[in-house]
Structure 1
Amino acid sequence: MKKAENIIVGISIGDLNGIGSEVVLKTFEDSRMLELCTPVIFANVKLLSFVKKTFQSTSLLHGIDKLDQIVPGKINVLNLWREVVDVKLGESDAKAGEYAIKSFVAATKALNEGLIDVLVTAPINKYNIQSEEFKFPGHTDYLDQELEGNALMLMVQDNLRIGLLTDHIPVSEVALHITEELIAKKIQTIKQSLIQDFSIIKPKIAVLGLNPHCGDGGVIGSEDDLIIKPTLKKLFDKGTLVFGPFAADGFFGSNQYEKYDAVIAAYHDQGLIPFKTLSFGNGVNYTAGLNKIRTSPDHGTAYDIAGKGIADYNSFKEAVYLAIDIYHSRNQHAIITEKPLKTKEKQL
């Protein structure tokens, strides 16, 4: 028997034809990682044994058939399927999408049931995962449905944290979604996450404007003056340290982001382009606002280099580190607020 202090990191394998398997196995080749946590990969041990030969991984895999067979100090692989899967490295394939979702759904269920402590997801292809059973744009939307809370995509690299008001919607529809209710909801979500997940007592949050130059007084759009500014003032007057809106073009170049604990961008590319430029391949996608912890690397399937053994695993490793850090921070926050998390002994 081993107490819950040994953090169990569940890992969904992602697209089998991409670099997911490679970055996962490379991360845990370093035995020191196994002193920090116990990984459980939701896939098939024979398949991963085959994949690791393509880039000569030294990772030692331990196949299990049930989660109560997890062994600390080993790279556990839960056998979700027995059939042989035809891996086509570098190709987008519907079968690969099917197994990626099978892994993700099973890992999410285990997370929800407390059988794993945190979830780290390897990259999927948003196109080939679509089916009658799974009609979500990606991981975040499904997690928002299955777990308690309000999901918010928060990109993290050290002290740089960028959240989004809107995420996977067409640019032509962004302005239609910017409402007082949405802004207030997202700011409250990110504020609470900064407090309980990052141990920041009084977080300062910056909000970027929607239009160029925040609309230039209505000359280039009215949303900043009519919706964003009044909403931020209301929240500030109620005690939330929120500032803006700031013109997005100069905000990062002038290093203004360093003055704040988090930045909220109006739409996907407004936030992710500067984030990926500044994070140097070490960024992490964290789903804030939920009752469970999920992180992922900030990159995609990278079909062009799949199977070549040259994939950079730093982002995935950082995703594991961040999940562990947030787990500890949440436990500490729960103790401080006298609401300790329920812990139970796991059969390991």
Structure 2
Amino acid sequence: MDNNKNIVVGFSVGDLNGVGLEIILSIFEDKRMLDFCTPVIFGSQKSLNFVKKHFKFSMHFFYAKEFDQISEQKINVITSYKDDFEINFGEENNRIGEVAIESFTAATKALKDGHIDVLVTAPINKYNIQSDAFKFPGHTNYLNEQLEGRALMFMVNDGLRVGLLTDHVPVKEVSSHITSELIQNKIKTVYESLQADFQISKPKIAVLGINPHNGDNGVIGKEDDEVLRPALEKIKKEGKLVFGPYAADSFFGSDNYKNFDAIIASYHDQGLIPFKTLSFGEGVNYTAGLNKIRTSPDHGTAYDIAGKGLANANSMKKAIFEGIKIFNNRKEYQELTADPLKTGKKKI
């Protein structure tokens, strides 16, 4: 991308029967947003015009046939699926699920090929997206396959950042997934992301226990003593400021989380329940650990309020700005840590 141009932010439309496209368009109804980024929506003329008309938005769309036609100060659209369906707010529909994935995979390819700088994904329904062509529990797993690096779900809201050892895994399988190698890899990903993406030179990371009360010396489970603690000791010997395991039940209520740059939870609900309690509507789901940047709002399709004009766009707006900020931070970090012998010639 040309350094003199706005950061190009791509949007997958998500479940069109939910609130995703509504909140995207509501944000860009404010023309000042075009000063911060150049949006590219992976959608279609019919669906965008339907949502625009329904909510009485006044913006205009620019339909680009090729990526080199993308224009600043315009809401660009790349056609990514056929208009062979009807939008019925609040309803679950398999064709709408297919459309959500067609938009998402097209946007991911554009991200991978460098046509967009940041990808922001609108919420999907994890049930109706399943097909023979797409067998992933969500965005993160697909991105992990398509992009370079190891994906990690990282929920962020200002100074609160929560990462997960396991994400969309049934509770009964959590302990079998947590190995010493997994723990070390996830903490390495969080540590490097805090440095490169959030400009924290010496991160402090807290790790929550796997079992209640960290297993109570084996009474409630042995995984904390036999797997988690030894793995953390290895990481500490590398010089990283990693602390724990902490009992999860009191960690957030005691405000201990405020003493750390990131918290790593063992499984989905252990991390996301406190995060969303503290940040719901303001948080951002960031996929750390990959060579490209993807963010999303911290909520789902919200079928119950879809089409009613009640959706709050704050989390989506924060996802946009968080993606832009991370893009700039990462670019600066890469410049600061680049080998000068490889990046430039010494002047005489």
Q: TM-score range by the shorter chain?
A: over 0.9
Cα distance change, pair 339–45 in 1 and its aligned pair in 2 (3 A): farther
Say which is worse superposed, 127-136 or 41-50, in terms of deviation: 41-50
Identity, % of aligned positions: 61
Cα deviation digits, residues 142-164 of structure 1 (max 9, x gap): 00000000000000000100000
Contact 2:46 2:83 in 1 (8 A): no
Say which is worse superposed, 265-274 or 220-229, in terms of deviation: 220-229
**TM-fit CA distance, 1:34:** 0.6
**TM-fit CA distance, 1:47:** 1.6
Cα deviation digits, residues 222-242 of structure 1 (max 9, x gap): 111111111111111111110
**TM-fit CA distance, 1:5:** 4.1
Structure 2 counterpart of 1:162:
162
Cα distance change, pair 195–5 in 1 and its aligned pair in 2 (3 A): farther
Q: Which residues in structure 2 correspond to 1:159-308 (within 5 Å)?
A: 159-308=159-308
Q: Which residues in structure 2 correspond to 1:125-140 (within 5 Å)?
A: 125-140=125-140
Structure with higher RCO (Cα < 8 A, 6+ apart): 1
For 1:26, give the aligned amino acid. S
Residue aligned with 2:141, SS: helix
Using the alignment, how far apart are the partners of 2:164 and 2:88 within structure 1?
A: 34
Aligned residues: 340
Contact 2:44 2:83 in 1 (8 A): no
Q: Compute the TM-score of the two structures, normalised by the length of structure 1.
A: 0.95
Q: Which residues in structure 2 correspond to 1:80-95 (within 5 Å)?
A: 80-95=80-95
Structure 2 counterpart of 1:108:
108
Contact 1:205 1:262 in 2 (8 A): yes
**TM-fit CA distance, 1:217:** 1.1
Structure 2 counterpart of 1:149:
149
Using the alignment, how far apart are the partners of 1:62 and 1:6 within structure 2?
A: 16
Residue aligned with 1:78, SS: strand
Residue aligned with 2:207, SS: strand
Using the alignment, how far apart are the partners of 1:2 and 1:242 within structure 2?
A: 39
Unaligned 5+ runs, structure 2:
341-348
Using the alignment, how far apart are the partners of 2:131 and 2:105 within structure 1?
A: 13
Residue aligned with 1:225, SS: helix
**TM-fit CA distance, 1:6:** 1.4
Cα deviation digits, residues 29-51 of structure 1 (max 9, x gap): 22221101000000012321111
Using the alignment, how far apart are the partners of 1:96 and 1:6 within structure 2?
A: 31
Question: Structure 1 residue 329 and structure 2 residue 329: aligned?
Answer: yes
Using the alignment, how far apart are the partners of 1:124 and 1:65 within structure 2?
A: 26
Using the alignment, how far apart are the partners of 1:104 and 1:177 within structure 2?
A: 28
**TM-fit CA distance, 1:81:** 3.5
Using the alignment, how far apart are the partners of 1:189 and 1:3 within structure 2?
A: 28
Residue aligned with 1:9, SS: strand
Using the alignment, how far apart are the partners of 1:47 and 1:5 within structure 2?
A: 28
Cα deviation digits, residues 75-115 of structure 1 (max 9, x gap): 11112235343112111100001110000000000000001
Residue aligned with 2:274, SS: helix
Residue aligned with 1:151, SS: strand
Structure 1 counterpart of 2:312:
312
Cα distance change, pair 45–2 in 1 and its aligned pair in 2 (3 A): farther
For 2:204, give the aligned amino acid. K
Contact 1:155 1:286 in 2 (8 A): yes
Unaligned 5+ runs, structure 1:
341-348
Contact 2:55 2:309 in 1 (8 A): yes
Using the alignment, how far apart are the partners of 1:91 and 1:24 within structure 2?
A: 19
Say which is worse superposed, 45-54 or 177-186, in terms of deviation: 45-54
Using the alignment, how far apart are the partners of 2:322 and 2:195 within structure 1?
A: 15
Q: Which residues in structure 2 correspond to 1:6-17 (within 5 Å)?
A: 6-17=6-17
For 2:243, give the aligned amino acid. F
Question: Structure 1 residue 38 and structure 2 residue 38: aligned?
Answer: yes
**TM-fit CA distance, 1:338:** 1.7
Using the alignment, how far apart are the partners of 2:275 and 2:68 within structure 1?
A: 39
Using the alignment, how far apart are the partners of 1:213 and 1:295 within structure 2?
A: 33
Structure 1 counterpart of 2:345:
none
Residue aligned with 1:102, SS: helix
CA-atom RMSD, angstroms?
1.3
Using the alignment, how far apart are the partners of 2:83 and 2:23 within structure 1?
A: 23
